[in-house]
Copies of this chain bind each other. A is one copy, B any other.
Amino acid sequence: MSSEEDKITRISIEPEKQSLLDHHTEKHFTAGEIVRDIIIGVSDGLTVPFALAAGLSGANASSSIVLTAGIAEVAAGAISMGLGGYLAAKSEADHYAREMKREQEEIVAVPETEAAEVAEILAQYGIEPHEYSPVVNALRKNPQAWLDFMMRFELGLEKPDPKRALQSAFTIAIAYVLGGFVPLFPYMFIPQALDAVVASVVITLLALFIFGYGKGHFTGSKPFRSAFETAFIGAIASAAAFCLAKVVQH
């Protein structure tokens, strides 16, 4: 919303309606983008290194090998998710800029078609031509507002914040590293992997449960259900890794 506010002078709405907006706060939940990135990073960070370590332990590797593999995987995963997320965000920003340029050109070159598109958007909501025509004409007189309207309501694109790409990358990468160290921690102190794995399983399933609960709380889902689902994914992933590792080792 803020991009439109930046670009367009707010025309005051009728005072009676404005007071209704001031006095009635609607509580719609919106998870912060940073919380979302932390959830993305920790979800995979807690799960994959845990399962890898458990699988290798079951295949009789030493704690030393498990740690080597685990730390290598955490580094690789953090870089892949972090850098990958950064490039994806930059790509979305480029996409937005390209689409905006194209809309801008079309507003100048084929205004009748663009006006027809505005009409089509509003007509979907049962609004008749004589009701939406003043709106279409008002937009036609204000090219910047028209452009923003098309970006938002025809293409459904929000203007991306340039700082977000870097912030998102670091958040996900750091969250992945922090998540990944939880299951690997016991292997740093217990040389027998088959002993360390017991501690790792206990610590990590607990961490997954707590994290899942927090995730449910922040996203507005049932926290306990989220806790069990998150721990369940970790259990399934590690069971699969465990079995496959034994198969590969014969």
Contact = CB atoms under 8 A, between A and B. Distances in A.
Interface of A: 1, 4-5, 8-14, 17-18, 20-21, 24, 26, 28-29, 43-44, 47-48, 50-52, 55-56, 59, 61, 64-65, 67-69, 71-73, 75-77, 79-81, 83-84, 87, 91, 94-95, 98-99, 102, 106, 110, 112-113, 115-117, 119-120, 122-132, 134-135, 137-139, 142, 145-146, 148-149, 152-153, 155-156, 158, 219-221, 226, 229, 233, 236-238, 240-242, 244-245, 248-249
A87 B229 contact: yes
Contacts of A52: 52, 69, 72-73, 76
Given A50-B76, A79-B233, 18 more contacts: A13-B123, A21-B113, A28-B99, A44-B77, A47-B76, A48-B73, A52-B73, A55-B69, A55-B76, A64-B249, A67-B248, A68-B248, A71-B248, A75-B237, A76-B238, A83-B233, A84-B233, A152-B153
17 contacts: A4-B125, A13-B129, A26-B113, A44-B84, A47-B80, A51-B73, A51-B75, A55-B69, A56-B72, A71-B248, A72-B242, A72-B245, A75-B237, A75-B240, A98-B220, A122-B135, A125-B138
Number of copies: 2
Nearest to A250: B64
Contacts of A43: 80, 84
A129 to B, nearest CB: 5
A21 B236 contact: no
Contact of A134 (B26, B124, B134, B229): B134
A135 B131 contact: yes
Contacts of A99: 28-29
B26 A51 contact: no
A127 B11 contact: yes
A248 to B, nearest CB: 5
Nearest to A215: B91
Contacts of A72: 51-52, 55-56, 59, 241-242, 244-245, 248
B116 A13 contact: yes
Nearest to A243: B75
Query: Which interface residue of A24, A72, A79, A242 has the most chain B CB atoms within 10 A?
Result: A72
A26 B117 CA distance: 11
A51 B76 contact: yes
